[in-house]
């Protein structure tokens, strides 16, 4: 008999449509589901790589810098000693989310492994929706709040938004720019999308020393509005047949495979991206190449408790339940590496975020 190599995966379960889950073997099904969850968690980790520092840290110091003033003195003068203020503490929450799935023993005897695989896919989809919602809350809600670390030791610490005029000291810019902490904010708004408002969004990021690869994130619903802005240069749709002179060849083609996750062109010093977590009438700008990511995604230090996982399986006749769990939280880390621009209201207002 020839050797058959391969790995059982969710596709294996989806193909098993003629045997009941009970006959197929719950142990086999559980292992296949666990393997799929591990792949799902790796995909989530790759997805967050550009946006967040994934860590078990719950607090860090943000916003420290070196600054001072050269004081003029005469031949015998001595200037006053100077000191720098330390940065402010920023914290990162940790929350627990659950997705229970339940069956009766009769259901297991009459339904196939494919039905259980579909239920697992629903849990993974719910996990992604929760991650998207927490990214949006961290970026688009302009208020700080206190978080009680109820899953660890109940210590209370501050969770900060992007720079929001809260009087927290702000590091000087790369050219010695000084920012008034009581008024400087990275949440701006205009009644409609304007070139000046979009340029100010990019400036809010660059003036703090970022600029290696500034990215503007928008919702797919705003694609046409941004393309219409003066100063926007769209990437070429590869389906268009245009002859170019030898001296001009476009370096970037428009991705036509994902309408809700692609770069669409250049505006000012930034590349404009449509992203699934973008919110209509809001744009978010950040430097994707910066060492200090705008977000921290906090999770447990123990590898076994990271990502989506099967936390428990309970078999109490005639009921059977499987509990999917995840523990994570999102908090702003680099408060200056990120700015939000709302363009359907004269003053900034936080969007409604749903899961």
The residues spanned by each domain of the chain are: 10-59+85-240+252-342
Mean pLDDT of the 259-276 span:
92
Task: Please report which confidence band the pLDDT of residue 69 belongs to, taking 50, 70 and 90 as the band edges.
Answer: low
pLDDT over threshold 80, residue 108: no
- The structure tokens 């619903």 sit at 221
In this predicted model, which residue has the larger pLDDT, 243 or 345? 345
HSE (side-chain half, CA atoms, 13 Å) at 219: 15
Q: What is the pTM of this model?
A: 0.83
103's enclosing H/E stretch is: strand 95-104
CA–CA gap between residue 39 and residue 118 (Å, rounded): 16
pLDDT over threshold 80, residue 148: yes
Mean pLDDT computed over every residue of the chain: 84
DSSP 19: S
In this predicted model, which residue has the larger pLDDT, 316 or 346? 346
Pairing of strands 270-274, 214-218: parallel
- The structure tokens 């896919």 sit at 121
Q: Do the beta carbons of residue 342 and residue 194 sit within 8 Å?
A: no
Q: Do the beta carbons of residue 219 and residue 283 sit within 8 Å?
A: no
Contacts of 355 (CB under 8 A, 6+ apart): 129, 130, 133
Phi, psi of 109 (to 5 degrees): -75, -20
DSSP 70: P
- The structure tokens 């010093």 sit at 269
Distances in whole angstroms, Cα of residue 78 to Cα of each of 72, 169, 190: 9, 27, 49
Phi, psi of 128 (to 5 degrees): -65, -40
147 has which bridge partners? 157
20-29, 66-75, 155-164, 235-244, range with the lowest pLDDT? 20-29
CA–CA gap between residue 236 and residue 255 (Å, rounded): 9
Q: Do the beta carbons of residue 111 and residue 20 sit within 8 Å?
A: yes
Mean pLDDT of the 294-312 span:
90
Q: Within 10 A of 137 (CB to CB), how many other CB atoms are there?
A: 15
Distances in whole angstroms, Cα of residue 146 to Cα of each of 90, 149, 308: 10, 10, 26
Task: Please report which confidence band the pLDDT of residue 236 belongs to, taking 50, 70 and 90 as the band edges.
Answer: confident
Mean pLDDT of the 268-273 span:
94
| % of the chain residues with pLDDT over 70 | 81
Task: Please report which confidence band the pLDDT of residue 5 belongs to, taking 50, 70 and 90 as the band edges.
Answer: very low
Mean pLDDT of the 104-120 span:
70
Say what the pLDDT of residue 243 is: 57
Say what the pLDDT of residue 8 is: 43
Distinct helix (H) and strand (E) counts, the chain: 7, 16
Task: Please report which confidence band the pLDDT of residue 111 belongs to, taking 50, 70 and 90 as the band edges.
Answer: low
Say what the pLDDT of residue 1 is: 47
- Which tens digit of pLDDT belongs to each residue from 19-54? 555 555 666 666 777 777 887 788 787 778 889 999
N residues, the chain: 355
- Which tens digit of pLDDT belongs to each residue from 158-203? 999 999 999 998 888 888 888 999 999 999 999 999 999 999 999 9
Say what the pLDDT of residue 311 is: 84
Say what the pLDDT of residue 48 is: 83
């Amino acid at each position: 008999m020839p050797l058959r190599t391969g790995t059982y995966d969710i596709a294996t379960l989806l193909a098993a449509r003629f045997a009941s889950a009970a006959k197929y073997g719950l142990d086999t099904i559980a292992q296949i589901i666990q393997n799929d969850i591990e792949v799902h968690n790796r995909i989530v980790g790759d997805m967050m790589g550009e946006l967040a520092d994934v860590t078990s840290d719950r607090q860090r110091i943000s916003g420290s810098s070196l600054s001072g003033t050269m004081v003029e003195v005469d031949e015998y003068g001595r200037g006053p000693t100077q000191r720098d203020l330390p940065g402010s503490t920023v914290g990162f929450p940790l929350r627990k989310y659950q997705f229970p799935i339940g069956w009766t023993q009769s259901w297991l005897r009459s339904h196939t492994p494919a039905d259980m695989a579909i239920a697992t896919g629903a849990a993974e989809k719910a996990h992604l929706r929760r991650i998207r919602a927490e990214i949006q809350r961290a970026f688009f809600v302009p208020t700080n709040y206190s978080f009680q670390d109820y899953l660890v030791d109940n210590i209370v610490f501050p969770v900060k938004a992007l720079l929001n005029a809260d009087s927290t000291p702000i590091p000087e810019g790369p050219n010695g720019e000084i920012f008034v902490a009581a008024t400087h904010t990275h949440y701006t708004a205009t009644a409609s999308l304007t070139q000046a408002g979009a340029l100010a969004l990019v400036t809010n990021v660059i003036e703090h020393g970022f600029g290696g690869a500034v990215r503007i994130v928008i919702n797919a619903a705003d694609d046409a509005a941004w393309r219409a802005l003066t100063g926007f240069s769209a990437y070429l749709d590869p389906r268009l047949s245009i002859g170019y002179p030898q001296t001009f060849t476009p370096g970037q083609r428009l991705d036509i495979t994902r309408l809700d996750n692609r770069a669409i062109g250049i505006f000012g010093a930034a590349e404009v991206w449509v992203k699934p977590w973008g919110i209509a009438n809001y744009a978010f700008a950040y430097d994707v190449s910066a060492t200090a990511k705008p977000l921290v995604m906090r999770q447990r230090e123990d590898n076994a408790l990271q990502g989506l996982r099967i936390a428990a399986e309970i078999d109490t006749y005639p009921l059977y339940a499987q509990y999917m769990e995840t523990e994570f939280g999102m908090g702003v880390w680099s408060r200056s590496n990120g700015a939000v621009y709302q363009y359907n209201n004269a003053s900034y207002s936080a969007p409604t975020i749903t899961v």
